[in-house]
Amino acid sequence: GQQLNQSPQSMFIQEGEDVSMNCTSSSIFNTWLWYKQDPGEGPVLLIALYKAGELTSNGRLTAQFGITRKDSFLNISASIPSDVGIYFCAGQLRETSGSRLTFGEGTQLTVNP
């Protein structure tokens, strides 16, 4: 099956710093999504990307869909303590509607006040 490599696995940063994480795949996806998961909760959608090359922002978050359709990155600017959590990328092939999401391994973000 398709595999996503997400890096880094974990990050420890100071409040106010910018953060960058990325996902790469050996095969293409038609949709990239970024989710955040807090402990004991479900993934919450942050940003969805539907076209190769697309750059989308949501507040302090910016994500891009790579031109090759095999990668995506997420940037968080001016981090705050509530940014703590696990960030997952997910790719979707969308050959048919309702197709599965393939998730990356996650990036554990810790923000020190």
Partner 1 sequence: EPEVTQTPSHQVTQMGQEVILRCVPISNHLYFYWYRQILGQKVEFLVSFYNNEISEKSEIFDDQFSVERPDGSNFTLKIRSTKLEDSAMYFCASSRDRGFVDTQYFGPGTRLTVL
**Footprint on this chain of partner 1 (rule: CB under 8 A):** 1, 31, 33, 35, 40-45, 48, 50, 88, 90, 92, 94, 96-106
Structure tokens belonging to residue 34: 């970024």
Would you say 44 or 80 has its CB closer to partner 1?
44
CB of residue 100 to partner 1, shortest distance in Å: 4
CB of residue 105 to partner 1, shortest distance in Å: 5
Helix (H, G, I), strand (E, B) or coil at 81: helix
CB of residue 16 to partner 1, shortest distance in Å: 29
Q: Which residues contact 59 (CB under 8 A, 6 or more apart)?
A: none
Q: Residue 18 in contact with residue 74, Cβ under 8 Å? A: no
Helix (H, G, I), strand (E, B) or coil at 34: strand
Would you say 77 or 108 has its CB closer to partner 1?
108
Structure tokens belonging to residue 6: 């997400």
